[in-house]
Amino acid sequence: MKDSLNKRIDTLIASTKLFPWLRETKEQIEPFDFSNEIILITGAAGSLGSELTKQLTLCKFHKLILVDFSETASYILLQDLKLESNETIFFELLDISKRHAVKAVFKKHKPTMVIHAAAYKHVPLLETNPYAAIQNNIFGTEILAELALEFSVKTFIFISTDKAVKPKNIMGMTKSVCEKRLEHYNCLNKTLFISARFGNIIGSNGSVLPLFKRQMEQHNSITITNAKASRYFMTKTKACQLILHLASFKRKASNIYTFQMGDAIRILDVANRLIDISSNTFPNISLEIKTLRPGEKTEESIISDNEILQNTHHPDIFQILPKEEKSNRKTAWPEVLEINLETSTTKIKSILKRFT
């Protein structure tokens, strides 16, 4: 019965009625030629990182370095890859906020490309653990960026989020700060730092469809935080294909990009469609609408009021350009470095807001 439901959920994900911008045919994975690249992926065992890894195994590459903090998730990925040897693919278990450990990996493998997907990303949880978000998302990214410069990495792709736009929550603020810091490092004209900003990945860990499925299995109900809440969605396959396309982009005035994601979808519509296709397995499912959780917004945006979109040579990739540059970000950075476990959430948000 569960297998049947999973198949129907897969059908829902591919539904052109719910997600009209997705192609009816199966998305094709384009092989890229990274023959000369040593590619390091952080968060490699996560939803996005593991899909990137699997797509890269279909490409040509010199070496693939898979970095993650979770032993269990890394082991699952190792099993999924069904590797016969480890001559070109290496697993490294480490915390990206520990500089000495990260530097040892850079020194050992000398990566030429970094795809930084590791992050804490669950909004309500990070609202009550702000320093952990700062340490992992900001300080971890800073360590990676500095080492990328030190070891002459050619391209550094940072996985950002639409929550970095007009950020209300700690998670979005940390991503926004990272986008701005990496643009600052681009001014050095050494490593090319690219930020990829997009919305929810359909079916990823912690995303809405698996959450609804668990609620149905455990309580025969679905909970929604707001009837008007909407989000942008992408499939993992498409998102990772576009991330790999970004690896071929050249340095420009702004190196922040977003992807074609269609119109925002109401979460209520997703829930109702899921209830409809699951009615035989889970009859009489109740739908409860509550209030937004701490840090959540009703709607997300792709760009801020201070930004504009510009087409690129790829039809599904758009460059994000600033209308004007803020001048207080450099002076705010020392305050970010002073954030510690004793710093209040209110003060943390006040400091980070200066970057947005």
Number of folded domains that form the chain: 1
5 within some domain: no
CA distance 293 to 311: 35
290 within some domain: no
pLDDT of 214 reads 85
168 Cβ contact partners less than 8 Å away, ≥ 6 residues apart: 295, 296, 297
Residues with pLDDT less than 50, the chain:
23-25
Residue 63, exposed/middle/buried by CB under 10 A (0-12, 13-18, 19+)?
A: middle
* Predicted confidence (pLDDT) per residue in 8-64, tens digit: 566 655 555 556 555 444 567 888 999 999 999 999 999 999 999 999 999 999 999
Catalytic residues: 163
pLDDT of 25 reads 42
58 within some domain: yes
pLDDT of 330 reads 66
Q: Decide: pTM greater than 0.75.
A: yes
Query: DSSP letter at 10?
Result: H
Which range of residues forms the domain containing residue 319? 31-201+233-261+302-353
1 within some domain: no
Q: Whose structure tokens read 């992992």?
A: 136
CA distance 214 to 329: 42
CA distance 141 to 125: 20
Q: Whose structure tokens read 């939803």?
A: 47
pLDDT of 7 reads 62
142 within some domain: yes
291 within some domain: no
Written as one string, the DSSP assignment of 278-336 is TTTTSTT-EEEE--PPTT--S---SS-TTEEEEE-SSTTEEEEEESS--SSHHHHHHHH
Cα→Cα distances 209→80, 115, 168, 228, 348, Å = 22, 26, 23, 17, 32
171 within some domain: yes
293 within some domain: no
pLDDT of 24 reads 42
| 135, 97 Cβ separation under 8 angstroms | yes
> Token pair for residue 47?
């939803």
* H helix or E strand, kind and range, residue 133: helix 130-133
CA distance 272 to 200: 18
Q: What is the CATH number of the domain that holds 176?
A: 3.40.50.720
